[in-house]
Amino acid sequence: MTEKEKRSRGELYDANYNPEIGKELLECKDKCFRYNQILPSHEEERHTAMEAILGKTGKQFTINAPFWCDFGYNIEVGENFYANHGCVILDGAKVTFGDNVFVAPNCGFHTAGHPLDIEQRNQGLEYAYPITIGDNVWIGAGVTVLPGVTIGNNAVIGAGSVVNRDIPDGVVAAGNPCRVIRRITDEDREKYKIRH
């Protein structure tokens, strides 16, 4: 079994010394570096460069530089995806974003983890578990999403949260560790209603 096959099965794999994985990692880092050098006003060039990095995109998406990821091909973003400056996606496993997802600055989505056992860790072994973000999700500034987490549709994650467990649909969740604070209600819809 190859190291990539082990990775896709959620098993420990050689993340540091495997030549195939190392080559893919460097190729993606070069693409990210080039993307981060494109002038913000060159929107079409930025769009084309990001499509060459990510595995799948909607037609409408915006990702502000700087942006970094490990492989790119494991990342899927839906329609109207927006990621502000400083987004980092460590996509050893699949990272999927639904439609209308808004990611505030300096957020990280980390599928990779390392063994607690020092000998395994020093061998360069790690694991990767997928992350799934539903539709209509707002991720506040400085949020970290850890391996294996699913965030449900219509959820809001408060700034600075560390999300280490699944979050259900339609809630506000925040904290370290992130926990559900309350459900989003009809009253929330009225709070910021534009009055004419």
Which are the catalytic amino acids? 114
Going by C-alpha positions, the residue among 87, 82, 80, 131 that lies closest to residue 105 is: 87
Identify whether the C-beta of residue 160 lies closer than 8 Å to the C-beta of residue 177.
no
In single-letter form, the type of residue at position 180 comes to: V
User: What's the residue count for the chain?
Assistant: 196
Q: Find all residues with CB under 8 Å of 191, minimum gap 6, and list them.
A: none
